[in-house]
Chains A and B, each alone.
Chain A
């Protein structure tokens, strides 16, 4: 697995990081298009695809059952109680919304910084954002208790003369997550228009020509159209960039505007944003490493991409570690006994094992990323990414549940145990996410074809 990494990361990348080897091997415009297209129009359905989709689909069915059961009986089927009124639903919500952030980061921020290495991973990452945000958005709705009244959160002139409380971060959430999903969808679809045109022009079956023809909106690659397209795409990227920061900051306000020990911290917004990017990049790697292997995309997703993503994970992981450190430091420095007790309880209390697992999976194991061989070795990088996925879920568990279960008054302390329904919804949402990824691989170009052609043109320009 390691062949050629040194030449790929050192000698053949210019001082400014200009990509000389972002397109490997001897590719042409035709061969790039043909290879990416062959994933969408394969000669026959892969058995592996069917098997993988089948497993994910079974999990989606569990999700449906879980949701139906929940809607019939109400949130009493969850392990939530007083004092732990925020259970798995909020843990999962914050976890999923964080996973979404890497997609926007890769697509938008790296585009603005002219980081050409984003091109072969951005499409998959954007799709991942959409699916993760869809999974995330589901949980607050389920958590409402009366989910059929979800529209009460939206501002509309109703006959009761009521408005939502716009000063509440929970209402900010509705706007932040809704905007994030919509803008991500626009960005993703705009990026897909020229590629839909390619699929339209190359499809052999009439119904596929029509389907992709409708999706391509009559795109014909006119130079003037491209010019406007590039402006719009760049502006969309510029608009999504502050969204990454704002969405997860708003999510962190849900916690930090309260006075609960463990939540009431000013470090929360940056610390949540860094954690979001951390978990997002780990999820991108978790998906991309197997996809690259199964579909033989080594020429498009080179070891340099994996190496770079490993570096981003390492950097954001260190910011997260700094966040943990500051929480502890300020508990001591503030002199507040409730905060101090929280830190002791977090690491030595009944849920202490989760805290130490969090430190292991989120902080200790990712330190292996300092070693280049770990960043460029597929299996080790995959294992580190999995560990971070798990660690970030634990982080949200520790923040939500450990903080809630013991607050100011010992008489109101309690414990939280997740129910079967809680687990069903967690694994069901993971199944939904995987199923959507499988469908995406089957029906859409998973690598941006026109941007890969552009990269190739730049490569030929160089040589």
Chain B
């Protein structure tokens, strides 16, 4: 094992989404695990090819929605039926049908915030800097290029062997990413 600590990883550049998908599948079959694929738009099946299955976003949205609905209802119940009662013709203080609209709105509001915050924090964003930004070609990831990066942290990573492996996948070029 030739671990090189001055490298973040080895980056292969592709010009077509299919090439990237195929390269990722082959790298996974080869046994590489600490790697990531980068593309200018979402590609069906690419995350699965990296061995990644669950997003973990949905459960936070569910929890956020429940919290918003229950909290919204409690707010109205507490203020209208406990803290500031107002008896109009002896109608029930806990007039639940009238509390539904605000409970619903707060459910949506809280779930939406949870969706965005969960997405960003699980992705560890904002991340103003990442070693990949050292590579000038990587700027095209947001336009028309597709990248596969095998990280030096992978147990199988070896500067020479990994470069050879990536070269066999027909990339446009292979670049070393400094740490």
A, B assembled together = yes
Residue A427 CB within 8 A of the other chain:
no
Verify A231–B58 contact, CB threshold 8 A. yes
B interface, size bucket: 35 or more
Verify B99–A166 contact, CB threshold 8 A. yes
Chain A residues contacting B130 (CB-CB under 8 Å) are: 218, 220
Mask of B126-138 contacts with A, CB within 8 angstroms, 1/0 = 1111101100001
| CB-based nearest B residue for A169 | B101
Verify A176–B139 contact, CB threshold 8 A. no
Query: How distant is A71 from chain B, measured CB to nearest CB, in Å?
Result: 29
Verify A229–B37 contact, CB threshold 8 A. no
Contact of B52 among A176, A201, A227 (CB under 8 A): A227
Residue A198 CB within 8 A of the other chain:
yes
Q: Report B43-100 residues with CB < 8 Å from chain A CB.
A: 43, 46-47, 49-50, 52, 55-58, 61, 65, 75-76, 79-80, 83-84, 86, 95, 98-99
Residue B165 CB within 8 A of the other chain:
no
Residue A224 CB within 8 A of the other chain:
yes
Chain A residues contacting B55 (CB-CB under 8 Å) are: 227-228, 231
Verify B42–A166 contact, CB threshold 8 A. no
Chain A residues contacting B27 (CB-CB under 8 Å) are: none
Verify A231–B142 contact, CB threshold 8 A. no
Contact of A224 among B52, B75, B120, B138 (CB under 8 A): B52
**CA gap between A213 and B126 in the complex, in Å:** 10
Verify A217–B142 contact, CB threshold 8 A. no
Residue B115 CB within 8 A of the other chain:
yes
Verify B143–A242 contact, CB threshold 8 A. no
**CA gap between A183 and B52 in the complex, in Å:** 29
**CA gap between A165 and B93 in the complex, in Å:** 12
Q: Report A218-276 residues with CB < 8 Å from chain B CB.
A: 218-232, 235-236, 239-240, 242-243, 246, 250, 253
Query: How distant is B79 from chain A, measured CB to nearest CB, in Å?
Result: 4
Given A179-B106, A217-B120, A226-B47, the answer on whether A231 and B57 have CB atoms closer than 8 Å is yes
Verify A166–B40 contact, CB threshold 8 A. no
Verify B123–A223 contact, CB threshold 8 A. no
Verify B40–A243 contact, CB threshold 8 A. no
Verify B105–A226 contact, CB threshold 8 A. no
Verify A167–B98 contact, CB threshold 8 A. yes
Contact of A190 among B24, B56, B119, B144 (CB under 8 A): B119
Verify B40–A182 contact, CB threshold 8 A. no
Verify A201–B139 contact, CB threshold 8 A. yes
Verify B42–A229 contact, CB threshold 8 A. yes
Contact of B102 among A171, A189, A239 (CB under 8 A): A171
Q: What count of chain A residues pass the 8 Å CB interface test?
A: 62
| CB-based nearest A residue for B15 | A29
Given A239-B112, A246-B104, the answer on whether A224 and B40 have CB atoms closer than 8 Å is no
Chain A residues contacting B128 (CB-CB under 8 Å) are: 213-214, 218
**CA gap between A69 and B92 in the complex, in Å:** 45
Residue A454 CB within 8 A of the other chain:
yes
Residue A450 CB within 8 A of the other chain:
yes
Verify B40–A175 contact, CB threshold 8 A. no
**CA gap between A231 and B139 in the complex, in Å:** 25
**CA gap between A287 and B49 in the complex, in Å:** 42
Mask of A138-175 contacts with B, CB within 8 angstroms, 1/0 = 00000000000000000100000111011101011001
| CB-based nearest B residue for A197 | B142
Query: How distant is A104 from chain B, measured CB to nearest CB, in Å?
Result: 12
Query: How distant is A32 from chain B, measured CB to nearest CB, in Å?
Result: 9
**CA gap between A431 and B39 in the complex, in Å:** 40
Contact of B142 among A155, A172, A194, A228 (CB under 8 A): A194
Residue B36 CB within 8 A of the other chain:
yes
Chain B residues contacting A186 (CB-CB under 8 Å) are: 112-113, 115-116
Interface residues of B (CB under 8 A from A): 17, 24, 36-43, 46-47, 49-50, 52, 55-58, 61, 65, 75-76, 79-80, 83-84, 86, 95, 98-99, 101-102, 104-106, 108-109, 111-113, 115-116, 118-120, 122-123, 125-130, 132-133, 138-144
* 19 A-B contacts (beta carbon < 8 Å): A28-B144, A29-B143, A166-B98, A172-B102, A175-B101, A187-B112, A217-B125, A218-B125, A220-B138, A223-B46, A223-B52, A224-B123, A226-B42, A227-B52, A228-B122, A231-B55, A235-B61, A242-B104, A246-B105
